[in-house]
Structure 1
């Protein structure tokens, strides 16, 4: 009995290919920053906010207690602490979360150039929702 061949995959729309290309590149960059920051943290290349030797004694704490004891900033406060190796690793995570934004901008631009106003508007609306969510303006009961 021979295994059945997988059905052929339909070709991607040009916008899907552009979105996928931008998303893949963003993921690669974010992963590199995350791994580089983590490696710098482990190697002790520059000072962290929370030293590795202290982590084991902090793991059992709730998030609130951890923040109180370590003084790690909340919200976007970490961005001002990028000079610390542990915060640099967080930059990679933030980039990973945001890598759909440039992909959406590229797709919105293509739709706009082609005159597909509704599709462009929907892509721009998605961008606005993501930016609003990341801004912290809308809180979830905090």
Structure 2
């Protein structure tokens, strides 16, 4: 396969453009949430679950000890603490981690309209794997 000449436009499929657009917006939103959560937490605009000045005493702790000592939730229970500045950063990470699932979901109607069943199945299967991994089902 020879590379395209310099300055030549490379045609992108509708599916590639849709996937890229959803991924771009998802990453922008996730990054914005991350950027907003830091000053909200550090400057005290949103109260933290763990106060910033208390963090150094927990840095060297194993995760299980940190969770126990701070009363932090396990699993998906952190969603109930989104009003806390330090936990809001996890929402940004969650959005970034979930971007590809939403981008794949955006492709399903496109492939379904084309009656491209193998790609519909592949997208849905990939989403299922991502959701299963995020849910903790795959953990021992």
Using the size of structure 2 for normalisation, the TM-score is 0.89
- List gaps (5 residues or longer) in structure 1: none
Displacement after TM superposition at 1:122 (Å): 0.8
Q: Which segments of 5 or more consecutive residues in structure 2 lack a partner in the other structure?
A: none
Residue 99 of structure 1 aligns to a residue whose secondary structure is helix
* Aligned match of 2:86: 86
Number of residues of Structure 1 aligned to a counterpart in Structure 2: 136
Separation of aligned partners in 1, 2:9 and 2:61: 48
Q: Partners of 1:125 and 1:8 in 2: how far apart?
A: 36
Q: Matches of 1:113 and 1:65 in 2, distance apart? A: 51
Q: Deviations over 1:94-133 (max 9, x none)?
A: 1111111221011121011111111111111111111122
- Root-mean-square deviation over aligned CA pairs: 1.7
TM-score of the two chains, using structure 1 as the length reference: 0.88
Aligned partner of 1:34 in structure 2 is: 34
Residue of structure 1 in register with 2:135 after alignment:
135
CA displacement 1:54-106 (0-9 Å, x = unmatched): 11121111112211211111111111111211111111111111111221011
